[in-house]
């Protein structure tokens, strides 16, 4: 019997791989019709009971074919996640369906302006809804009242926005995108008021922190935290108090009939805020887009483990763009870490790196892979 030819065997494998890819593509095309049928029937995109029955049937088929049933189940869980993400993307891209976007703040806030810039011009339109807090905006997504939320996560002057990190740790949301918005803070007051007349300045704590030089130059001004920047501007307009001011955008000044006492009062030039777009499930990364992945992990209890994790990521040629720590409230004086890494979580180097570091963690989760904006 002739020896098998390795090149021809590899050609046969490649042909089978092409068939597999074609079949996955065909499955996703059918999923688009499933999405339309579910919309018509007002059915949820995810049916856990049906998924469990499907996996049970696939495990039986795997055993009959002499395959590892656990590995087949793992493979199909990925395929089902792809299918749900594709259904949601199909609905989002329908020209007749508006995208429902939640954000923290009121009209004229920086989150509102960032959402306007990001979603303006979408064929089906966008419905932007402001909420009193970051948690309320996130809850709108988890409850199904919104498709996405746009949440600030870090600022070049004031640093990280911890509440957003803590919301991501809760586990219900996935990061599907990011946007960086240049921030110009303005000091707003009633028309005709000079800065010498002012005594109290309202704004979101992050905005106050980003304008600390203003308070150093004008010690007669007292900072007072408010829920959001544009909301502070609205309260100044409603109070009709000449000693009261707000730090907000020039758009908020126009919206609430205030005057801009001073432009560009942020302490650092190039002040910018990074926002993350969050949804219930991951979204596909467009072809050709540079991918970034956010990962959450908690350290195993052994010396030097964080350095070892970073070394293993570097060994796979993966670049970190951010590393952040947050306390774990239920375990005092322990911390979870958030890392932003350039690359797609489904790529071979990234997948291998996650397997490398898994034994060094007590909790390891991918929060999302999305197109990188920075």
> How do residues 13-43 score in pLDDT, each as one tens digit?
999 999 999 999 999 999 888 877 765 664 5
Residue 115 and residue 41 share a domain: no
The residues, ordered by sequence, that sit 6+ positions from 131 with a Cβ below 8 Å of its Cβ are 102, 103, 104, 105, 137, 140
pLDDT tens string 121-131: 877 778 888 89
The verdict on 70 and 58 lying in the same domain is yes
Quick count: other Cβ atoms within 10 Å of Cβ 267? 16
Span 280-330, pLDDT tens digits: 999 989 888 899 999 999 999 889 999 999 999 999 999 999 999 999 988
Q: What mean pLDDT is predicted for residues 76-103?
A: 81
Q: Mean pLDDT over residues 205-226, rounded?
A: 95
CATH number of the domain encompassing residue 348: 3.30.70.260
Find residue 158's DSSP bridge partners. none
Where in the sequence is the domain holding 16, given as residue range(s)?
6-92
Residue 271 located in a structural domain: no
Using the 3D structure, point to which of 56, 77, 92 is the last residue of a domain. Answer: 92
Measured CA to CA, the distance from residue 218 to residue 21 in angstroms comes to 65
Of the candidates 90, 273, 293, 369, the residue annotated as catalytic is: 273
Predicted confidence (pLDDT) at residue 44 exceeds the cutoff of 60: no
Q: Tell me the CATH number at 143.
A: 3.40.190.10
In a domain, 157, yes or no: yes
Say if 270 falls within a structural domain: no
More confident residue, 332 or 252: 252
Distance (Å, whole) CA 337 – CA 323: 7
Is the pLDDT at 238 greater than 60, yes or no? yes
Residue 1 included in any domain: no
Q: How far is CA 217 from the centre of its chain?
A: 37
Torsional sign, CA 140, 322, 228, 119: negative
**Which is the catalytic residue, given 134, 157, 275, 293?**
275
Residues 320 and 292: their CA atoms lie apart, in Å, by 9
Task: Report, as an integer, the average pLDDT of 107-114.
Answer: 90
Cβ atoms of residues 277 and 152 within 8 Å: no
Residue 48 has pLDDT above 80, yes or no: no
Residue 2 pLDDT > 90: no
Task: Write down the pLDDT at residue 42.
Answer: 47
Q: What is the DSSP letter of 220?
A: T
Annotated catalytic residue 90: no
3-state DSSP assignment of residue 13:
helix
Contact by Cβ (8 Å): 278, 166:
no
Please check the confidence at residue 355 and state whether its pLDDT lies above 70.
yes
Q: What is the average pLDDT score of the chain? A: 91
Note if 275 is an active site residue: yes
- DSSP labels, 192-213: T--GGG--EEEE-HHHHHHTHH
């Amino acid at each position: 019997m002739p020896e098998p030819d390795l090149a021809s065997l590899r050609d046969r494998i490649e042909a089978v791989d092409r068939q597999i890819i074609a079949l996955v593509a065909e499955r996703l095309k059918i999923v688009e019709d499933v999405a339309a049928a579910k919309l018509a029937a007002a059915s949820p995109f995810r049916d856990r009971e049906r998924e469990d029955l499907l996996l049970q049937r696939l495990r039986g088929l795997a055993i009959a074919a002499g395959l590892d049933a656990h590995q087949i189940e793992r493979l199909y869980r990925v395929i089902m996640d792809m299918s749900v993400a594709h259904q949601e993307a199909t609905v989002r891209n329908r020209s007749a369906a508006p995208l429902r976007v939640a954000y923290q703040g009121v009209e004229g806030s920086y989150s509102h302006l960032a959402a306007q810039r990001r979603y303006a011009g979408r064929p089906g339109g966008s419905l932007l809804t402001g909420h009193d807090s970051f948690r309320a905006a996130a809850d709108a997504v988890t409850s199904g009242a919104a498709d996405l939320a746009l949440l600030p996560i870090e600022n070049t002057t004031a640093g990280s926005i911890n509440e957003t990190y803590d919301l991501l740790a809760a586990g219900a949301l996935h990061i599907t995108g990011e946007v960086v918005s240049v921030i110009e803070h303005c000091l707003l007051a009633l028309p005709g008021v000079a800065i010498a007349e002012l005594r109290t300045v309202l704004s979101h704590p992050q905005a106050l922190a980003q304008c600390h030089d203003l308070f150093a130059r004008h010690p007669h001004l007292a900072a007072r935290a408010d829920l959001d920047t544009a909301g502070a501007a609205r309260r100044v307009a409603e109070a009709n108090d000449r000693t009261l001011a707000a730090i907000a955008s020039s758009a908020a000044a126009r919206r609430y009939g205030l005057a801009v006492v001073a432009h560009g009062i942020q302490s650092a030039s190039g002040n910018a805020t990074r926002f993350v777009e969050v949804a219930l499930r991951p979204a596909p990364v467009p072809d050709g887009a540079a991918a970034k992945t956010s990962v959450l992990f908690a350290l195993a209890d052994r010396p030097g483990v964080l350095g070892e994790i970073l070394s293993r990521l570097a060994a796979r040629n993966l670049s970190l763009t951010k590393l952040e720590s947050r306390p774990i409230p239920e375990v005092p004086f322990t911390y979870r870490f958030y890392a932003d890494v350039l690359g797609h979580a489904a790529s071979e180097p990234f997948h291998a790196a996650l397997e490398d570091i898994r034994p060094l963690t007590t909790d390891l989760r991918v929060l999302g892979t999305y197109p990188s904006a920075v």
